[in-house]
Structure 1
């Protein structure tokens, strides 16, 4: 099932975090209407009865990065 991936980087040295743009992870299922493998010939009303009509819950990922956030790193370079 296709789903969005949400990434929030957490920077340990300054305690700031940064949300990255959401990414769409597409599945390989021909039964998911959002998949690139879903046949264009599959149309309602049959499609609504046989295929997944919604995306899955977003995958959330928050890596802890042992460093400064981009803003603090830029500020440190200027000083």
Structure 2
């Protein structure tokens, strides 16, 4: 099933978080109504009975980056 990917970077040196824009991950399953491979003519009761109608829960990642966030670098707060 299609799902959203949420990434929140944590920068160790300045202790700031930066949320990246959510990204839609396509599943390429023709039975998922959100997939690009879902047939355009699959609609109504037939689609409801045969295809996924919901996305999975979003994947959530929180990478820890040993550095400074872009705002701190621009503002010159880098030690």
Q: TM-score range by the shorter chain?
A: over 0.9
Shift of 1:49: 0.4
Residues 20-59 of structure 1 mapped to structure 2, 5 A cutoff: 20-59=20-59
Shift of 1:22: 0.6
Q: What is the RMSD of the two structures over their aligned residues, measured on CA atoms?
A: 1.0
- TM-score, structure 1 as length reference: 0.93
- TM-score, structure 2 as length reference: 0.93
Q: Residue 15 of structure 2 aligns with which residue?
A: 15
Secondary structure at the residue paired with 2:76? Answer: helix
Uncovered stretches (5+) of structure 2, i.e. residues with no partner: none
Aligned length: 77
Shift of 1:20: 0.8
Uncovered stretches (5+) of structure 1, i.e. residues with no partner: none
Structure 1: which 4+ aligned runs deviate by more than 3 Å? none
